[in-house]
Amino acid sequence: MKLILLGPPGAGKGTQCKRIIEKYGMEHLSSGDILRAERAEDTELGQKAQSYMDSGQLVPDDIIIGMMIKAMTKSSGGYVLDGFPRTTVQGEELDKALAAEGEKINAIVNLEVDDEVIMPRMTGRRSCPKCGAVYHIENLKPRVEGVCDNGCGELVQRPDDTLEVVSNRLKVYHEQTSAVVGYYKDSGSLIININADQPIEEVTASIFAELDKLNVQVG
């Protein structure tokens, strides 16, 4: 099964992806995580992406498309795309690359949440720089405050999770990314809309109920 998880920053894409892959056994391909790994290794791609990410702008399409198609090609089975595509050009290029392999996306899970819910989620997000685990200071606390449950050490606030950068990312979402849902609607894809303004467990249950209805081979 090949899925795309769409939604604004803070909708819960990363959180829900982890649960989806645990249940259905696909791979989690997060463009943000791949970019952060490139930056941590100080690669040329990571250096190119840095200033865009820190200011909340989108990294240029050509960089992202090449990076994600490479990651998808390496993957042997199903996957969930998290954070990609973020522009209609990225969606078109993704579909072309899949069609060339005789493949397609089975469904798009669209996490819907209003802007006012997003800011406290983002400013309260804490992330593990080593394993990528994501917590929240109120909604998803680690066992010991400020420390990753996986034994990696201290949690950090991402530099792009400040009030100013999140405002910019939300603006960018409405200007460039929200149109991706329309792109998939127009192409006749199966879109599963989920109310993401519910507690984490309830969002997960809503997604599982819908995915269980899909008569597609998982993994």
Instruction: List residues with catalytic annotation.
Output: 13, 86, 125, 158, 169
CA distance 30 to 13: 9
C-beta closer to ligand ADP: residue 134 or 218: 134
Q: Burial, 180: exposed, middle or buried (Cβ in 10 Å; 0-12, 13-18, 19+)?
A: buried
C-beta closer to ligand ADP: residue 134 or 152: 134
Within the chain, strands assigned E span: 2-6, 27-30, 79-82, 107-112, 125-127, 134-136, 191-195
CA distance 162 to 179: 25
C-beta closer to ligand ADP: residue 62 or 216: 62
We find the least distance from the C-beta atom of residue 215 to ligand ADP, in angstroms, to be 28
CA distance 91 to 95: 6
Tell me if 136 contacts ligand ADP by CB under 6 A: yes
Q: Which helix (H) or strand (E) holds 50?
A: helix 44-55
Piece of 95-103, 118-126, 141-149, 209-217 that binds ligand ADP (CB under 6 A) = 118-126
We find the least distance from the C-beta atom of residue 217 to ligand ADP, in angstroms, to be 26
Residues 6 or more apart in contact with residue 208 via CB below 8 angstroms: 23
Dihedral of alpha carbons 91, 94, 96, 101, sign: negative
Site for ligand ADP in 143-182 (CB under 6 A): 160, 169
Contact 67, 104 (CB under 8 A): no
Tell me if 67 contacts ligand ADP by CB under 6 A: no
AA letter at 30: S
Q: Applying CB under 6 A, which of residues 3, 7, 38, 79 lies at the interface with ligand ADP?
A: 7
Show the site string, 189-218: x = touches ligand ADP by CB under 6 A, - = not. -------x-xxx--x---------------
Q: Applying CB under 6 A, which of residues 2, 6, 27, 31 lies at the interface with ligand ADP?
A: 31
Closest CA to 187 of 105, 126, 113, 130: 105
Tell me if 84 contacts ligand ADP by CB under 6 A: yes
Tell me if 28 contacts ligand ADP by CB under 6 A: no
We find the least distance from the C-beta atom of residue 147 to ligand ADP, in angstroms, to be 15
State the residues that interact with ligand ADP by CB under 6 A.
7, 9-15, 31-32, 35, 52-53, 56-59, 64, 83-84, 86, 90, 121, 124-125, 134-136, 139-140, 160, 169, 196, 198-200, 203
